[in-house]
Amino acid sequence: MIFYGPPEKSKCESYKSKFMAYAHTLSYTLVEDVWVRQVKAPEAPGNVKPPSEPAEIQSTAPSNLQRIKQRLEGLKRKLTTMPEQVDKIREVTKETCTDVAKLRMDIGATKKQGIKAF
């Protein structure tokens, strides 16, 4: 540091020995090449009650819940039977593939016989 004289040097030395606490700190954030000051969000009041639901919603809630449970049970049943159905489809597909392969071979043989006949 460059000091302009003994008084400035003594001031600097006296400040070094003191504890400094800042009363207010500013926070800035860089947003799209512009520095924006951050502002604290206001504190919410402590005794906030959640809004009560209307009586209509409270009366229909159990029936809606029951319907949802029934639909979930139906989905569960379908999901448990699905692997069996997928296996059946695979078996049919394998049989069909072998049948198609046999037909292709037969058609190929027929074409060859037709070509030989000419």
For residues 51-67, give the mean pLDDT: 77
State the DSSP H helix or E strand holding residue 29, giving kind and residue range, or none if neither: strand 28-31
CA distances from 22 to 11, 19, 25, 55, 60 (A): 19, 10, 7, 54, 58
Does the pLDDT at position 1 exceed 60? no
Query: pLDDT tens digit string along 6-56?
Result: 777 777 677 666 665 554 556 777 778 788 777 776 776 667 676 676 766
The CA-atom distances, in angstroms, between 25 and each of 15, 22, 33, 39, 40 are 20, 7, 22, 11, 12
Q: How far apart are CA 25 and CA 37, in angstroms?
A: 11
| SS3 of 49-76 | CCCCCCHHHHHHHHHHHHHHHHHHHHHH
This prediction's pTM: 0.32
Q: Tell me the per-residue pLDDT of 76-110, one tens digit each, with 9 for 90 and over.
A: 988 888 888 888 877 877 777 777 777 777 777 77
Helix, strand, or coil (residue 90): helix
> Which residues, 6 or more positions from 30, have their beta carbon under 8 angstroms from its beta carbon?
36
Q: Residue 59 pLDDT > 90, yes or no?
A: no
- What's the pLDDT band for 73 if we cut at 50, 70, 90? very high
Measured between alpha carbons, how far is 90 from 96 in angstroms, rounded to an integer?
A: 10
